[in-house]
């Protein structure tokens, strides 16, 4: 970046592969960030698919994010409103009452960022909307914005395990220190409003080259069965004067309460058969012992 300006740009990718994936790629001093958040709400066999394409920059002491929000589904989204979150502040956009299929919304949101040092800083964009029945949904994306020309991060966050839950479950991510110097990292887990992380992760101390797996609990508050929702793990640490951020993404699939038994049907039948055979063997053994007793 020149003159203290930071720039990141997000582009949507092929939505046919997965509607909840995102990735970041950096090219020299300009960070070209592949950013897509697509969330699907099904109603009457139709879908609402919201994509977020952000372009962010730091200039004149402010974070400015230009957003292009599109509905790639075949049903209109209602009460569509974007929000920019940066550190402890947020800026809520004007939004639109309705976003028709294949239509787009353009908004620019700004927050103060005068005291940023060189490094990578996380920000997130959420888009709240409802379906025709006024049921709420939220699209979400988390990105890291480069300020100055920071070196690559030396902590990796990988294998954020995608999980399937009905009411609650666990989420894990693997952290690895990529240098021989000890570091202390702050870890945060970000999910849409329909989910809740009930366990705060304490600061993680990583010795040189150490690898560890951390986990937390996620609870389904209002997400509907069939939803596939993004989860982001943000890892931040200071490397001397440079602030570093690493973002890892996974996915949570919401299933009906009875789906566990449906998925485990074969196992349950095997257990039932074993119990039945065990009980039958017990009864047969008693009968045989009685016959031997009478014969004696």
Instruction: Please state, in angstroms and rounded to a whole number, the distance separating the CA atoms of residues 156 and 178.
Output: 7
Instruction: Please state, in angstroms and rounded to a whole number, the distance separating the CA atoms of residues 178 and 176.
Output: 6
pLDDT of residue 16: 27
Q: Which of 69, 271, 61, 249 is nearest to 162 (CA)?
A: 249
* pLDDT tens digits along 121-162: 999 999 999 999 999 999 999 999 999 999 999 999 988 877
Return the CATH number of the domain spanning residue range 1-150: 2.60.40.10
Instruction: Please state, in angstroms and rounded to a whole number, the distance separating the CA atoms of residues 154 and 178.
Output: 5
Contacts with 85 (C-beta within 8 Å, 6 or more apart), sequence order: 123, 124, 125, 126
Task: Calculate ∠ Cα 36-124-64, nearest 5°.
Answer: 100
Q: What is the pTM of this model?
A: 0.75
Task: Calculate ∠ Cα 105-83-169, nearest 5°.
Answer: 115
3-state secondary structure 259-278: HHHHHCHHHHHHHHHHHHHH
Contact 100, 125 (CB under 8 A): no
Contact 248, 17 (CB under 8 A): no
pLDDT of residue 21: 31
pLDDT of residue 263: 57
Q: Which regions of the chain carry the CATH code 2.60.40.10?
A: 1-150, 153-254
Please provide residue 267's backbone torsions phi and psi, each rounded to the nearest 5 degrees: -60, -40
* pLDDT tens digits along 174-200: 999 999 999 999 999 999 999 999 999
Mean pLDDT by 10 residues, the chain (296 residues): 37 30 31 40 69 95 97 97 97 98 98 95 98 96 96 93 90 96 97 95 97 96 93 97 96 83 65 82 76 66
pLDDT of residue 81: 98
Which CATH superfamily includes the segment(s) 153-254?
Immunoglobulins (2.60.40.10)
């Amino acid at each position: 970046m020149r003159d203290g300006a930071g720039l990141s740009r997000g582009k949507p990718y092929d939505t046919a592969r997965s509607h909840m994936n995102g990735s970041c790629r950096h090219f020299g001093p300009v960070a070209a960030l592949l950013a897509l958040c697509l969330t699907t709400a099904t109603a009457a066999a139709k879908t609402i698919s919201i994509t977020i394409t952000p372009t962010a920059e730091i200039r004149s002491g402010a974070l400015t994010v230009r957003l292009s929000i599109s509905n790639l589904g075949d049903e209109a989204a209602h009460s569509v409103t974007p929000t920019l979150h940066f550190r402890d502040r947020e800026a809520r956009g004007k939004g639109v009452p309705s976003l028709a299929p294949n239509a787009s919304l353009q908004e620019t949101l700004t927050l103060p960022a005068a005291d940023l040092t060189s490094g990578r800083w996380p920000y997130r964009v959420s888009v709240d909307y409802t379906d025709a029945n006024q049921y709420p949904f939220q699209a979400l994306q988390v990105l890291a914005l480069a300020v100055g020309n920071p070196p690559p991060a030396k902590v990796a966050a990988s294998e954020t395990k995608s999980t399937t839950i009905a009411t609650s479950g666990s989420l894990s991510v693997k952290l690895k220190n990529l240098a021989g110097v000890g570091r202390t990292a702050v870890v945060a887990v970000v999910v849409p409003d329909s989910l809740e992380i009930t366990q705060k992760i304490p600061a993680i101390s990583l010795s040189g080259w150490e690898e560890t797996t951390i986990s937390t609990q996620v609870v389904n508050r209002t997400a509907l069965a069939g939803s596939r929702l993004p989860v982001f793990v943000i890892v931040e640490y200071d490397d001397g004067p440079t602030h570093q951020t690493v973002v890892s993404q996974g996915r949570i699939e919401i299933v009906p309460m009875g789906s566990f038994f449906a998925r485990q049907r074969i196992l349950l039948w095997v257990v039932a058969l074993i119990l039945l055979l065990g009980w039958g063997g017990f009864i047969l053994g008693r009968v045989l012992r009685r016959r031997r007793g009478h014969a004696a």
